[in-house]
Chain A
Amino acid sequence: MRFTALSAPSAARAAWVTLAAVVVALLLCALIFVFYGVSPGTVYGTMLRGTLGDSTGLAEVARRTIPLLLIGSGLALAFRAQFFNIGAEGQLLLGAVFAAGTGLFVPLPGPLLLPAMFIMGAVGGGLWAGIAAWLRRLNVNEILSTLMLNYIAVAVVTYLIAGPWKGKEVRGYIYTDLFPENGFLAVIPGTQVHWPTLVLGVAGALALQWVLSRSTFGYALRVVGENPGAARYVGLSAGRVATTVALITGGMAGLAGAGEVAGIHHRLLEAGQLSLGYGFTAVIVAWLARGNPALCLITAPVMAIILAGGDLLKIDLNMPFRVVDVFSGVILLCLISSEVFIRNRVTWGTGRPAGSKANG
């Protein structure tokens, strides 16, 4: 197999290669389901019927789209700057902690509480990502640091809900008391779709797209990501760009955490219930969107179908929720492996004209 670089890969080529990668990924997952002992048809049928088939299913998809959109559009920006933040899970948790702390312990009048919770959520998520950005200045790989911070964030949440923040009105359970009523976010009646956060997510994705393609900072970010050498030459500080990007993505994940506690749970509870692996799934949302925050408006619902479908597989087919990680891993692997086919034309064989000397 031999690759010849294309000078200007078209958007159409990117689109069909991406689509092909997803199809290959779904086929590979089907193979794993056969190993597990269920028919892939049953699996995919259950997932699609239960998510897109009725209004309840669609509401479940919408609910999961919200955090994926917020986190994914932030990560799209981060990946463009070559900052591989995979700690959105932890940043979401810290956002939830800060928002819940505000809701529980800061007596703010009526309409002021919710905005304060969201702002504090963004601060919490941003701070958590900020640690990784600071460590990167000490040459610590951000994939490792953000991942370690995920585990630490889980411990922080567990400590708080089992210790100092444990609810006074709950017995035997480990979670906090409920927020006051003015800390409850509006939902579409009969669902768990907290639409104000959804609006925030859509606005955030569009705003970040504008930042990326129209602002000076976005330009600096793209230069640092695509050509670090050139960035250094023109005096752009890669460290400063990485720090800003980390704070933005962490802040977006923190908003997602605030939305989950204010919109759905109305209290702080176990990490496993706060997030269904949104942080990792959002990595795929961002990668599917090829680093374009606005495209997350399409890719976030796609991955939300998989998350909501994972729940259905658990309930209907008694499969472990881990099946979602299988989807995520296989899709991500296929996506990154497909990139070479976007930027290159592929010819099979050695690529040498017949009869020529082998001098590579």
Chain B
Amino acid sequence: MDNVFVEALVRALAVGTPLLLASLGAILNERGGVVNLGVEGMMAVGALAAFAVAVAPGGNLWLAVLAAAAAGALLAALHALATVTLRANQFVSGLALALLGTGAAGLLGKRYEGAPLFNKVPDWNLGGFVISPFTVFALLLAGALAFYLNSTRSGLTLRSVGENPAAADVLGVNVGRVRTLAVLAGGALAGVAGAFLALSYRASWADNMTAGLGWIAVALVIFVGWRPLRAILGALFFGVLYYLQFRLQGNSPIPTEVFSAMPFVLVLVVLALAGLRGQQGDAPAGLGRAYMRGER
């Protein structure tokens, strides 16, 4: 196979991995009816938690990933408390979470700035195809999530809570509990996306290392119509874009700022196209609204 092509694909998969992990998490909680815009913040604390555990003496990488998931879920728990229990505006709560997460990570992570990570997660070499275990996990997870949502009873319950919480409630589903669990799982996956950045992709920690990836992951969910398998293609698409940015920077007469702005411009274009298309994929009908018994 052509080397340039392989390199492009490997790199696109690498940048696509955190996007895929985080958007799978977001798909999970959004299919349950809760929008969480705080992905950027959950990713940031995930990255920090993973790095802090990994650089500690005798740092275990499994524990590091677990810590990242826990940190993401902890932040998500605040979102669940605010939006599910206290019925606050989901969008604004997510924004607060993004601020808090990136802020807390920047503050608490200061001591790790510039520290090297010696026990980086080793890449796998699959027949000349060098790939991170995180990437393999993310790809498998996309399949598993699609199966879970479409073919299991619990997945059906989750979707019913997202589509019509009142009906689910009448059938005896504990709407608050299902939504809270979905939000926690979404946060854990965003945390793991951060762990990938800190333990594999960069193998270091820096303030603002998520660099807007969390926000792109949120937009990606809309772009792929809330479908896990399509999220693979969406993440790959943005991965290729980042690869092009990396390759063309400095090698072309186009100013570098055009490349740094491109992912964000493209998100706008993509969202506008999704909006124009009208039909919003599998967008849950009850998305973004708090549920309260007896209220319509």
Contact = CB atoms under 8 A, between A and B. Distances in A.
Interface of A: 1, 3, 32, 35-36, 84, 86, 135, 138-141, 143-145, 147-149, 151-152, 155-156, 158-159, 162-163, 280, 283, 287, 319-320, 322-330, 332-333, 336-337, 339-340, 360
Contacts of A326: 99-100, 103-104, 107
B108 A35 contact: yes
Given A144-B271, A325-B102, A283 B95 contact: yes
Given A155-B264, A329-B101, 9 more contacts: A36-B108, A141-B91, A145-B268, A145-B271, A148-B268, A159-B258, A320-B106, A336-B96, A340-B86
B98 interface: yes
Contacts of A332: 92, 95-96, 99
Interface in B246-280: 255, 257-258, 260-261, 264-265, 267-268, 271-272, 274-276, 280
Question: Secondary structure of the B side of the interface?
Answer: helix
Given A135-B268, A144-B271, A333-B78, A151 B100 contact: no
B97 interface: yes
B257 A155 contact: yes
A320 B265 contact: no
Interface residues of B, number: 51
B110 A32 contact: no
Nearest to B273: A138
Interface stretch (B121-129, B212-220, B224-232): B212-220
B143 to A, nearest CB: 27
B47 to A, nearest CB: 14
A147 B108 contact: no
15 contacts: A36-B108, A139-B274, A143-B37, A143-B95, A151-B261, A152-B265, A155-B257, A155-B261, A158-B257, A159-B257, A162-B255, A325-B99, A326-B104, A336-B88, A360-B293
Nearest to A134: B272
A340 B101 CA distance: 24
A322 to B, nearest CB: 3
A333 B275 contact: no
A154 B273 CA distance: 24
Contacts of A148: 215, 219, 264-265, 267-268
Contacts of B260: 155, 158
Contact of A138 (B41, B92, B99, B275): B275
B268 A337 contact: no
B202 interface: no
Interface string B79-97: 0011001111101110111
Contact of B257 (A140, A156, A327): A156
Nearest to A327: B103
Contacts of B215: 144, 147-148
Contacts of A35: 108
Contacts of A319: 107, 110
B92 to A, nearest CB: 5
B140 to A, nearest CB: 28
Interface string B194-223: 000000000000010000100100110010
A336 B293 CA distance: 20
The 8 closest A-B CB pairs, nearest first, are A329-B100, A325-B103, A322-B106, A329-B99, A155-B261, A139-B275, A138-B275, A326-B103
Contacts of A328: 96, 99-100, 103
Given A145-B268, A158-B257, A330 B106 contact: no
Tell me which of A84, A140, A149, A283 has the highest count of chain B C-beta atoms within 10 A of its own C-beta.
A140
Question: B104, B212, B274, B275: which has the most chain A beta carbons within 10 Å?
Answer: B104
A337 B261 contact: no
A43 B218 CA distance: 34
A151 B212 contact: yes
Contacts of B261: 151-152, 155-156
A3 B86 CA distance: 9
A36 B48 CA distance: 13
B268 A140 contact: yes
Contacts of A145: 268, 271
